[in-house]
Homo-oligomer: A and B are copies of this chain.
Amino acid sequence: MRAGVPKKTLADAAGVLERIAPSKPSQPVLAHVYLEAVPGGLVMRATNGEVDLELLVPAEVEGSGAALVPAALFGQLVRSLPGEYAELRLGPEGLELEGGSFSTRIAVADPETFPPFPEPEGEKGKVAAEALAKALSRVRYAAAQEEYRAIFRGIQLEFDQDRFRAVATDGFRLALYDVPEGAGFSAKRVLPARSADELVRLVKDTAGPLELAAGEGRLWAKGERFQIALALMEGSFPDYERVIPERFVLEATLDAEALRQAIERLRVLADRQSQRIDLAFSEDGLELAAEGEYGRGRERVPAEIQGETPLVAAFNAQYLADALKGLKGALRFRLSGPATPSLLESEEEPGYRAVVVPLRV
């Protein structure tokens, strides 16, 4: 087989697959990219056991054939090719790759040894790619890094007829994002946060709908030129709805970025262990203060306050900064009390809500 592909197209695909293919695989075959010539293009595939990804790369193809190429080497070679155009030729002695005045032949492995792409099963439906990427990336920070309950390292996707939601929590904070678009089916599935990251990277610049299939063990997503299968987490996600406060004693409206920047400044001075930062809400607005072994600092942030003032609550500065990251425009900071959960809502991103619990002081 022979295939001609614009270099950039091939390099982009190889880069995405190289990230999936494990560099220290449990089975050597997983360090490869599966490459197959089909009419009109190249099918390229990688898997790490958790995430299976298949890309269709448009190419001028003659003949057919398949091979496994070392993922990292192939990626490096394709990226460094001179010229605009890459030519691939698969023969009995390996894969020849040419670009400009450069040519190479690399050893290939038997394509039959590569795991087949898992067949979609379960509930089927559709979501907008961009909305799914947005929802997952917005709540990602609240998933646990390490935790005795593995399920906290996941992001739950809740699909319904008229909306879908992404939600993550590590037991100390919670983030959720609602999209008012039906998926065409009802199901809850928990994705490992790292697999969700791959899905986000893949679809964030994709316009149009994704076809979904939610099986018991996997979630599939299919776009125009890719399909991805993500192994799901077992176990049930915590019953988080009860920690979302509904009654509030105070509501502050302020600029999300101004608040985040003040927190970032004061964090430097906060106690390293507790990361404590004090928020004092009064009729005049909000004053933040932090104190640690090196000194103390304070800063005023303009805020419109409604409710019972004065109110002082202490928070983990990191948690607040995470919840505010990337938010612009007006923020509603709603407190249910000095020691009970607070709710953050963004006027520019109405689907987003974050719950942060004050520190006990």
- Once the chains are docked, how many angstroms separate the CA of A320 from the CA of B100? 22
Residues of A contacting B: mostly: mixed
Q: Is A106 an interface residue (CB 8 A)?
A: yes
Q: A268-B76, A269-B77 are in contact. Are A107 and B70 (CB under 8 A)?
A: no
Nearest-neighbour CB distance to chain B for A254, whole angstroms, equals 13
**Cβ of A103: which chain B residues have Cβ within 8 Å of it?**
297-299
**Cβ of A76: which chain B residues have Cβ within 8 Å of it?**
268
Choose from B104, B107, B261 the contact partner of A82 (Cβ within 8 Å).
B261
- Once the chains are docked, how many angstroms separate the CA of A94 from the CA of B294? 10
**Cβ of A266: which chain B residues have Cβ within 8 Å of it?**
102
- Once the chains are docked, how many angstroms separate the CA of A70 from the CA of B293? 11
Q: Is A301 an interface residue (CB 8 A)?
A: yes
**Cβ of A201: which chain B residues have Cβ within 8 Å of it?**
none
- Once the chains are docked, how many angstroms separate the CA of A294 from the CA of B264? 48
Taking CB atoms and an 8 Å cut-off, the chain A residues in 254-270 that contact chain B are 261-262, 264-266, 268-269
**Cβ of A101: which chain B residues have Cβ within 8 Å of it?**
299-301
- Once the chains are docked, how many angstroms separate the CA of A107 from the CA of B107? 63
- Give the A interface residue count (CB, 8 A): 32
In contact, B268 and A94 (Cβ under 8 angstroms): no
Choose from B81, B94, B105, B293 the contact partner of A265 (Cβ within 8 Å).
B81
Task: Tell me the nearest residue of chain B to A96, going by C-beta.
Answer: B295
Task: Tell me the nearest residue of chain B to A75, going by C-beta.
Answer: B268
In contact, A104 and B301 (Cβ under 8 angstroms): no
Identify 15 new A-B residue pairs, CB closer than 8 A, beyond the known A80-B264, A104-B297.
A73-B294, A77-B265, A77-B269, A77-B297, A82-B261, A94-B295, A100-B299, A102-B265, A102-B297, A103-B298, A103-B299, A104-B295, A104-B298, A105-B297, A106-B294
Q: Give 18 A-B contacts (CB < 8 Å), ordered by A residue.
A: A73-B268, A73-B294, A73-B295, A76-B268, A77-B268, A77-B297, A80-B264, A80-B265, A82-B299, A101-B299, A101-B300, A102-B265, A104-B297, A105-B297, A106-B294, A107-B293, A107-B294, A107-B295
